Structure 1
């Protein structure tokens, strides 16, 4: 029995060590920022919830029309495992304003900010969507949302795909009041959650160990 239990423990360790694939999630959206922020441009956040880095070469976004290649993602070559990055509509000249608006003089080291631009991709405050595609034009992440609240981002730390509605709240999922005191969100602060398949493997392994222990006690 002891050998069996040790074997099960070893199997669980092996399963847990299997790397999961990379997964990109849209974890935050500010569709009101082009007209209600000092930044003067909408933005969204991507988070890599997988275990390996994701190369963003050739990636693009679009709004509710969901067409690949409309607005190329620029300025960020890759997203590391567990990393959250920001993409702002417009040129990189806006990036410094974004940092000062949200963080003042205390911008987090290593926060990556990229940009996107394309015909008709401005996000609507009355409801819209963000769709992200890889270099092959295959959808990698997609969220839609209704009317937004000026100054408060949509919080999708849960990693949902499809319709999102939760608004950021100070102290929840890393959200804070911006340095200029006019916005609430968590740019770059979302912690990536393990993928569902990782949870499933861990639970299955724990179940096997639990069964073995109960049998041994019996």
Structure 2
């Protein structure tokens, strides 16, 4: 089954005015109710606050109802960027830019930042075409998935333009290459390993490792002539 790897570099937070449950007074995890995921280095986009309005954004790492939250200032595009994007609770309200106006009820957005994955492929630089089925590549990735998430993998071939999924090849620790060589000279094959976080049924923040290997052909079958010793009579 083909997996869909979705890279969430920009997360749009839909701010709906109303009272979101504040019963989860604890650090945000991948299983926190209504959590929004963002890849490390990503952006939180708030959208437009409305004509002559502005967002008021507060942040706390551990509580949706903090006593002393940190103020976060969105940029001119109503985005939260850089070091202001981190795991925790964003408490967001809306207010007119006119002096003396009231502030809306807060909406609480739990955000979990997924660290950038680093996949690697361990494999010999070449293999004989007849040994493709017994040659083993191994893959891995760091960091480990946090509790509530898992890492999933998929192997591909790549011809320099098109990436082709290798059906059923999702085990990073035991992959047998699929490219063979029926010619008489070595050919190069590019293999790719993708890894992503899986939370529930969705995949996030994929990363890719590539490995170029040489596929060696079989040598030409030699012509073998066995001499005839002749016959004898007695």
Same fold (TM over 0.5): no
**Structure that is richer in helix per residue:** 1
**Structure that is richer in strand per residue:** 2
Task: Answer 1 or 2: higher relative contact order, Cα 8 Å, separation at least 6.
Answer: 1
- Give TM-score, length-normalised by structure 1: 0.30
- Give TM-score, length-normalised by structure 2: 0.28
